[in-house]
A and B are shown apart, each in its own frame.
Chain A
Amino acid sequence: MRPDYSDLEECLIRENDLLLMGVNGGDTYIPLQCIARVETPYEYDPIIEGQLPGPLAASPSLDGITNTTYQTALQLGSQKVVAKPTDVFDLTYYPQWLYQMFVGIDPPWLRVFLQQPFRTDQRSLPLVYFTPNYPQEGYWDGYSSPPWHISPKTQMFVLPGLSIAIGYENKQPQPAYPMLTFYINAMQVAVINDPTLAYEMLTVPKMAKLYTVGGLQNVQWTPEAYYGITGFSLTDDQEAVAAGVTPVNANVQTGQRAV
């Protein structure tokens, strides 16, 4: 069966797009520009790659919600890649790269939970946060995002130093052998250092695409370590934006061209 990626088309970031990546719960926006990109599927078998020791056991749950088989989020490592990375999506040493990713899930009833960064749960709600005993919130499942028809609702971003971890819930009385099919829009990005352009991105409607990365939590991710700038918030004035895009970390070599 030929996979259908058509749902993702309109969501994909394209060359020359201006991006405002909102991190730390939207406190900090980083202005970037997509310089080049490739799209690639990436199939991740959690059992073969070694993230999981085996299938998720059959659920002993009686109510279908509590006491299901739950695997806390783990980083997506690989024992098959020669270097045996503990996280195949880690971009810490590739600050010019950015992943826009979507995930297809199999089997269909399998629920998948995102942490970003590792140990910070994503997509929970204040009162119905998810726990191993109540894995009700913040999940995607294979019904809504099957591998051959990946849902755009599974969009996630991986920034250098801000990778993901994934947990699982099996609620069927049969074992589950998870398979994740990622569709990755891998980009080279440049940092916008021009204060005028950065301010226009903030103020001119639809000029830049705005994204929240890492959910609503304040994860204390520091953009100056990877992008050399401190970023700005949505309500900043022109002066504050100019300060936010001024390079403060000479060691960072990202941004192949000064924009």
Chain B
Amino acid sequence: MTEFTEFQYEHRESLTTLIGTQSATIIGPSPPQQSYEITEVVVTPYGTVGGAAITGRLMQFATLQGYSQYGTLAGTIVEPFAVSPGSAFRDGDGRAAVAYVDPGNILYGQVDSGSVLAKIVYRPINRRGW
């Protein structure tokens, strides 16, 4: 009755951002005691229907200096995607984790050409690993 618990799929937040060919920060860095749990990614490309597919990725990078155990993963891709104009890429339904950003890391986004609009549903969690 009086447990002191975390709530699994609540506390969700979402953000929508434009991702271009230059890597840009989406969220972070998460505090070293926390991770970001991503539960949904929706990517919509710009361009004429029938146009070329756009490939891209969400990546996490460590930014903390001298922080070795958890924060030095270099450039891990957490979510690759390929989208064609007119059809969005969607992974996850907001109710289960599809990717994590490790403690101390920043989530970056980048595409190989053009630009896309990305919606990311996530929550900060008090956990270092997963």
Residues in A lying within 8 Å of B, measured CB to CB: 6-7, 10-11, 59, 61-65, 68, 107-109, 142-144, 146, 148-149, 151-153, 171-174
Contacts and interface: CB of A to CB of B under 8 A. Distances in A.
A152 B28 CA distance: 32
Nearest to B28: A173
Given A61-B31, A173-B28, 14 more contacts: A6-B1, A7-B1, A7-B2, A10-B2, A11-B2, A64-B32, A108-B11, A108-B123, A143-B11, A144-B4, A146-B10, A148-B10, A151-B4, A171-B34
A144 B6 contact: yes
Contact of B124 (A10, A63, A108): A108
Interface of B: 1-7, 10-11, 13, 27-34, 64, 103-104, 123-126
Contact of B31 (A64, A144, A148): A64
Contacts of B125: 143
Contacts of A7: 1-3
Contacts of B32: 63-64
27 contacts: A7-B1, A7-B2, A10-B1, A62-B64, A64-B31, A64-B32, A64-B103, A65-B31, A108-B124, A109-B34, A142-B11, A143-B6, A143-B7, A143-B126, A148-B10, A151-B2, A151-B4, A152-B2, A153-B2, A153-B4, A171-B33, A172-B30, A172-B34, A172-B124, A173-B27, A173-B29, A173-B30
Contacts of B6: 143-144
Nearest to A145: B4
Contacts of B2: 7, 10-11, 151-153
Nearest to B106: A173
Nearest to B124: A109
Contacts of B33: 64-65, 171
B1 A172 contact: no
Nearest to A9: B1
A173 B3 CA distance: 29
Contacts of B29: 173
Contacts of B28: 173
Nearest to B5: A144
A172 B4 CA distance: 22
Given A64-B33, A108-B124, A174-B27, A146 B11 contact: yes
A242 to B, nearest CB: 36
Contacts of A151: 2, 4
Nearest to B33: A64
Most buried by A among B3, B5, B28, B124: B124
A153 B4 CA distance: 8
Contact of A172 (B3, B7, B31, B104): B31
Contacts of B31: 59, 61, 63-65, 68, 171-173
Contact of A107 (B1, B11, B30): B11
A10 B30 CA distance: 37
A6 to B, nearest CB: 8
The 7 closest A-B pairs by CB, nearest first: A64-B31, A108-B11, A64-B32, A171-B31, A64-B33, A109-B124, A143-B6
A183 B46 CA distance: 48
A148 to B, nearest CB: 8
A10 B1 CA distance: 9
